[in-house]
Amino acid sequence: MTTTKITPKQLAEILCNITRSTVCNVTYLVDDSRSITIKGIKQVQKLVNISNVYLNHDYTKKVINLSGNTNFVAQELKGKTRICSTLIQSDTTNELMIDGKVLKSEAVTILGFYHNGNQIFEAEAHDNGLWANSYYKPSEKQTMGRGTVSVEDDFNIINTYLIRIVYIKLEGTMYEIV
């Protein structure tokens, strides 16, 4: 499969033109929330691949369908503004983010860990004291819909900055974000 190089701005244009339910494969680099923070910077990043990210899946409808709670009303986005059905924008950084849903059954793979731009092993992060207490004692996660969706039917939301996406496969085309 050939890869087409595009910018985050071009990716945004492609994503905003997707108006039906679409599945994509996304590889992105993100701060690991379990790592320590020094001077406002997370010390460990992780390269993640998600095999099936669902675009144009309405959060409220998904919670109602999975929970049966027809009275469920989603809270307003906080700190984010919806641009189109597949994109939201951070109110603080003005950066665009993909808005996707990931079913619990989907493959989410951590491809590697990074510290100061260099790949490290998870054990190295431990040996160097880069993990916060949350790494050793993870908190119990509430299911979607403020706990109304069952553990078996739970799903996640992915709101990753477009500038952090490395690869995305959309509608049969593989894109490298440069």
Residue tagged 């849903």 (tokens): 101
What average pLDDT does the segment 3-31 reach?
95
pLDDT tens-place string over residues 122-137: 999 999 999 998 888 8
pLDDT tens-place string over residues 84-135: 999 999 999 999 999 998 887 677 899 999 999 999 999 999 999 999 988 8
pLDDT tens-place string over residues 52-73: 999 988 777 777 777 788 888 7
CA distance 121 to 100: 28
For residue 75, the 8-state DSSP code is P
Q: What is the mean pLDDT of the chain?
A: 89
Query: For residues 145 and 53, which has the higher predicted lDDT (pLDDT)?
Result: 53
For residue 137, the 8-state DSSP code is S
Buried b (16+ CB within 10 A) or exposed e, 3-26: eeebeeeebbeebeebeeebebeb
Q: Are strands 3-6 and 173-177 parallel, antiparallel or unpaired?
A: parallel
Residue-number span of the structural domain to which 152 is assigned: 3-177
Given pLDDT bands bounded at 50, 70 and 90, which one contains residue 145? low
pLDDT over 70, % of the chain: 96
Q: What is the pLDDT of residue 104?
A: 75
Query: For residues 107 and 45, which has the higher predicted lDDT (pLDDT)?
Result: 45
Residue 144 has pLDDT above 80, yes or no: no
How many domains does the structure of the chain reveal? 1
CA distance 143 to 171: 30
CA distance 76 to 82: 10
CA distances from 48 to 35, 66, 146 (A): 15, 26, 25
What average pLDDT does the segment 8-35 reach?
95
pTM of the entire structure?
0.85
CA distance 177 to 135: 30
Among residues 105, 99, 96, the alpha carbon closest in space to that of 22 is found at: 99
Of how many residues is the chain composed? 178
CA distance 146 to 162: 27
What average pLDDT does the segment 27-36 reach?
95
Residue 35 has pLDDT above 90, yes or no: yes
